[in-house]
Structure 1
Amino acid sequence: MFSSTLSLAALGLALIAPTVVNAHGYIHTYEIGGTSYSGWLPFSDPYESPVPSRIERKIPSDGPILDVTSSDLACNKGGETGVKAIATAAAGSKITFDWQSWPADHMGPVTTYMTDCKGDCSTFDASNAKWFKIDAAGYTNGQWAATQLIANGAKWTSTIPSELKAGEYLVRHEIIALHDAGAPQFYPSCAQVKVTGSGTQVPSGSSLVSIPGLYTIAEFPDIWSDSFKSFSIPGPAVAFSGSDSGSGDSEPASTSSTHASTSSAASHTASSTHVSTSAETSAHASATSASSHASSVVQTSSAASASKPSSTGTGRCSSKTKRERRGMVKRHVSHQAKRHH
């Protein structure tokens, strides 16, 4: 009996281990135009009956896309296929992306793109989309955008351009984790949004990019090197730059300073499209309890930003040597200490 119990326990730990190692983050909730919508919850939604209807296209897990040439880069694996639900918001409205968690050492830029579905988003194939940037923040004054996202409770806010023509759009939000030099990790998600209003403009020409294609020739730095000083965000300039649609990487604070502005949305939980977190919280917690979410829970201490995990090509992370961490520690620890203590 003892041997059987021990075997079952060992099997359970073996099944949990990959989840713990690979745990990163995903968008748990969207606040769009004052209304709260649940994101696709990869650890519970696929197992519910009936499967919930979400505005976010399905993602398989909280892991990254590693191949810059993969079609999965657009909306994550399986995200080229549309879903039935869609949010509605007026042009000029705020969209807040509430991440389930984000590791403090997974530093990098945060960007938001949109694409016109040319009609019905539920039947639109994202693999052929042309995207325009509405918000981007990288590395400014010694701080990464992802670090600022963490400081704001794992939330990031972008704005739908006020000039944008009414219609159905995909909104693509992404964090790029640069903790493994030479192997950037991409975490994209796409939500379907019906934009209303009297706007007449649609970006064209140099404002539009293909994904994949956007990062094919992009250069990502070794952020742990002593020589690292700055970072240029790949892709075009922010479309409608004269509007309140985002400030690019020059002032990341202005893209996320409104993260607590959707209080009226808190009570909006009427349908399965809207926030439904208890099943996801339970499922995710049980899968990671063995390590107390050591690798995925949002870190708020200055010490957390001093360790550099490294990918082996599978999305897993491991520690970097003290010598390689030294340069990053000098730049980030003092700032983190100020912000969190």
Structure 2
Amino acid sequence: MFAAAALAALALGATQAAAHGGVLSYSINGQTYEGFKAYNSPTGQTSIQREWDTYNPLTDPTDSFLSCNTNGANLGSGQLSATVPAGSEVVAYWNQWPHTIGPVMVYMANCNGACTSATTSALEWFKIDEAGLISGDLPTGLWGQGELVADNSSWTTTIPASLAPGEYFIRHELLAIHTSDQPQFYPECAQLIITGSGTAQPSGSYLVKFPGAYSMSDPGVGIDVYSQPGVTNYTIPGPAVWQG
């Protein structure tokens, strides 16, 4: 009975992983950092990534876990931070991502101290990268997620070179809008220690909180792409990209 239940759980996990997903690892300055392993206990895991428990999406833009996924907790003694010079590239490797319709967004947040003790829903986040509808129309065009799939389910982002040093989160998010009934948010967070001589910090309208940055009334969130053939404009949700 126990063996059968265990096999059923593994099969369910495999099915969920095939349908949805998350960031499995990062490459930063030639070093690979393994991500948190979903569906496993955080006990004994070591990662720069915060805990995320399921490959399934968040479907409510006001979900309390929208900042860093369910449940977004630090890993205690296993929680690491990657030391990264400002201006470096961060490559996030997703699972074999199955969706090609929707934007890719990357945010950061200053922890104003140690990220390990930060409450991610209370932080102010700023967007450093995004890609929405690149060409074509809403139902058949090339999207940011299509580019991610074509690049071996990876996404490369450059941290602004002028960003002031300190401890930050980096938050990768896919918003899958291939269904007509509800958006699917896939946020993942990792902890970074930014070094360098930069002094820049975003302010004002560049800063948002999660939840709070999105609503179902946003044109890029509550959208049925299949009802709009020939439409070539898409509004990516959230603030403008901060270039530093």
Distance 1:8 1:204, change over 3 A: closer
Alignment correspondent of 1:154: 153
1:184 aligns with 2:183: yes
Query: What count of residue pairs does the alignment treat as equivalent?
Result: 231
Partner deviation per Cα, 1:255-276 (whole Å, 9 max, x = no partner): xxxxxxxxxxxxxxxxxxxxxx
Percentage identity across paired residues of the two chains: 41
1:12 positional shift: 6.2
How far does residue 236 in structure 1 lie from its aligned partner after superposition?
A: 1.4
Please state whether the residue corresponding to 2:235 is helix, strand or coil.
Answer: coil
2:100–2:143 Cα contact (<8 Å) kept: no
For residues 1-43 of structure 1, the C-alpha deviation after alignment (integer angstroms, 9 at most, x for no partner) is xxx9xx976x567545543543312111101233210011114
CA contact (8 A) 1:74 1:80 kept: no
1:218 aligns with 2:212: no
**Corresponding residue of 1:60:** 53
- Matching residue of 2:112: 118
3-state DSSP class of the match of 1:73?
coil
Gaps of 5+ in 2: 136-140
Cα pair 1:110 1:176 within 8 Å, conserved: yes
Q: Does 1:30 align with 2:29?
A: no
In structure 2, the CA distance between the partners of 1:136 and 1:13, relative to structure 1 (3 Å rule), is same
Pairwise CA RMSD: 2.2
Pair 1:16–1:39, CA change in 2 (3 A)? closer
* Separation of aligned partners in 2, 1:212 and 1:197: 30
Question: For 1:120-176, what per-residue CA distance to the aligned partner results, in whole angstroms no more than 9, with x for missing partners?
Answer: 111111010110000000011120111110100011001110010000000000111
1:317-336 superposed matches below 5 A:
none
Cα offset for 1:223? Answer: 2.0
- TM-score, scaled relative to structure 2: 0.87
One-letter identity of the residue aligned with 2:143: W
Q: Secondary structure at the match of 1:171?
A: strand
Q: How many Å separate the matches in 2 of 1:184 and 1:176?
A: 7
1:60-91 residue CA offsets vs partner (Å, 9 max, x unmatched)? 02111111111200000121547531001100
Question: Displaced runs of 4+ in structure 1, greater than 4 A?
Answer: 11-14, 80-83
Change (3 A) 1:199 1:182: same
Structure label with greater radius of gyration: 1
Contact conserved, 2:46 with 2:75, CA < 8 A, in 1? Answer: no
The TM-score normalised by the length of structure 1 is: 0.63
Write the distance in 2 (CA, Å) between the matches of 1:100 and 1:113.
20
Deviation digits for residues 286-313 of structure 1, max 9, x if unmatched? Answer: xxxxxxxxxxxxxxxxxxxxxxxxxxxx
1:88 to 67, 77, 83: 83
Question: What is the Cα deviation at residue 235 of structure 1?
Answer: 1.4
Q: 1 or 2, which has the higher strand percentage?
A: 2
Contact persistence 2:100–2:149 (CA under 8 A): no
Contact 1:121 1:169 in 2 (8 A): yes
2:134 to 136, 140, 153: 140
Contact 1:33 1:88 in 2 (8 A): no
Q: 1 CA distance for matches of 2:234 and 2:181?
A: 14
How many Å separate the matches in 2 of 1:19 and 1:106?
22
